[in-house]
Amino acid sequence: MSARIMVLLAVALGACSEVQAPRGEPWGVRTTLAADGAWQIRWQGRASVTVDGLTTAADGVLRLPADRSSAVRVGRTAFTVWPRREDPCAPARFVVLGDGRASVDGVGPSAYWAPMLAEAVARAPLFVLNTGDLVKNGEDRAEWDRYLRTLPPWPPVLAVRGNHDRGPHFADLGMAPADVFALRAGPIALVAFDSEGTDAEVRARLPRVEAALAAAAEAPFRVVAMHRPVWSRGNHGSDDRGLVAALVPLLERHDVALVLSGHDHDYERFCPSLGLGPSRRCVAATDGVTYVVSGGAATFTVPVPGLSRRVDPAVAVADEAASRIFSAAHHMVEIEAVGGRLVGRAWRTRAGNIGPPGLLDVFEITRESSCPR
């Protein structure tokens, strides 16, 4: 099939994937994370809202505590909000999807985004993490409206901002609570930050990333999410942002277990490693930082590694030695942590692949934990 036909097909499928709300009903009902850790229910339009039997009317947003379950109804949409369970001995599970943007302007999410998100939601995670590039042209509100219509009321779909998500809408629509934000769930402390903007803007966020990691020192697993990969053999390559020399020592100072990124349209996992560039070395999974690139919800994925010409040749050699799997499969990554054991499973999704869905990759990271076995 030619690329032109595939683009037209993707546009058509993308248009068909929209879910139209009944006339007069609030639409785009979804849950987001507030900066202080509360859940926020958001929607478009004025709605009658019922929480645990109490009804009120509200315009577009309602705040809920994140430490207990709530039965919620917004218009005709009814759902249950789950508590976050910050107890480090409680199990936690979330699913990662990334780069679900269309390849052409005016569409928003790719044709695969909505069905892949449905597959992720079917796994009943506490939240879904989008590794960025939610839409193609972030300045176009119509693209965001198409994205909003794909979101479920629950679970929350949290995101880090990608380079395509430029403009005011990402923040205004509450896709992330801040340019640096943290979320605790069981043994996982997720610290997410915005890798977009000027170099000065991005570097100015690093002290807050470091403070958030320091504040989560007692959590068994510190997990960092950012759009642009530290290491990658994908199209953009390693250190696309020029941050690695500052970022890798910071990650290692705080014993970060896992870094999740997007930007490149593929799946790639590197060995747990310590060190920078050509002096990077693979170490035991108890000690190093495991880097995963997950950008597998795009219209097109890239099957060939090593295409970037901007990567230092010595770094490219180290990247090849450290890479454990590179795949162009459309996929999602399920992260599950209990006590001192974190398991990542990359799943080939039903959507986007010619072959059957199934397990693409499994990795395990362990850390000290005082939780009973």
Q: List the alpha helices (DSSP H) in 132-177.
A: 141-148, 169-172
* 261/369 with CB nearer Fe ion: 261
CB of 302 to Fe ion, least distance (A): 12
Coil, strand or helix at 208: helix
| 162 part of the interface to Fe ion, by CB under 5 A | yes
CB of 35 to Fe ion, least distance (A): 24
The structure tokens 């999807």 sit at 97
CB of 334 to Fe ion, least distance (A): 22
CB of 165 to Fe ion, least distance (A): 9
The structure tokens 């340019």 sit at 179
- Chain position whose Cβ is nearest to Fe ion: 263
CB of 160 to Fe ion, least distance (A): 10
Asked if residues 126 and 84 have their Cβ atoms less than 8 Å apart, the reply is: yes
CB of 166 to Fe ion, least distance (A): 11
User: What does the block give as tokens for 29?
Assistant: 């009902």
| 165 part of the interface to Fe ion, by CB under 5 A | no
CB of 120 to Fe ion, least distance (A): 20
Name beta bridge partners: 31: 41
Q: Which of 342, 242, 215, 234 is nearest to 289 (CA)?
A: 342
- From 77-85, 109-117, 154-162, 268-276, span contacting Fe ion (CB under 5 A): 154-162
| 194 part of the interface to Fe ion, by CB under 5 A | no
* 148/226 with CB nearer Fe ion: 226
| 163 part of the interface to Fe ion, by CB under 5 A | yes
Alpha-carbon radius of gyration of the chain: 20
| 336 part of the interface to Fe ion, by CB under 5 A | no
Binding mask 74-113 for Fe ion (x = CB under 5 A): ----------------------------------------
* 64/293 with CB nearer Fe ion: 293
End-to-end CA distance of the chain: 53
| 133 part of the interface to Fe ion, by CB under 5 A | yes
Q: What whole-number distance in Å separates Cα of residue 283 and Cα of residue 204?
A: 30
Binding mask 237-276 for Fe ion (x = CB under 5 A): --------------------------x-------------
Sign of the dihedral through C-alpha 255, 324, 332, 203? positive
* 43-51, Cβ contacts within 8 angstroms, sequence gap of 24 or more: 43/74, 43/75, 44/145, 44/148, 47/74, 47/75, 48/74, 48/75, 49/73, 49/74
Name beta bridge partners: 93: 336
Q: What whole-number distance in Å separates Cα of residue 367 and Cα of residue 187?
A: 10
Asked if residues 134 and 109 have their Cβ atoms less than 8 Å apart, the reply is: yes
- From 69-77, 133-141, 199-207, 299-307, span contacting Fe ion (CB under 5 A): 133-141
- Considering CB under 5 A, how many residues would be counted as binding Fe ion? 4
Give the interface with Fe ion as residue ranges (CB under 5 A).
Answer: 133, 162-163, 263
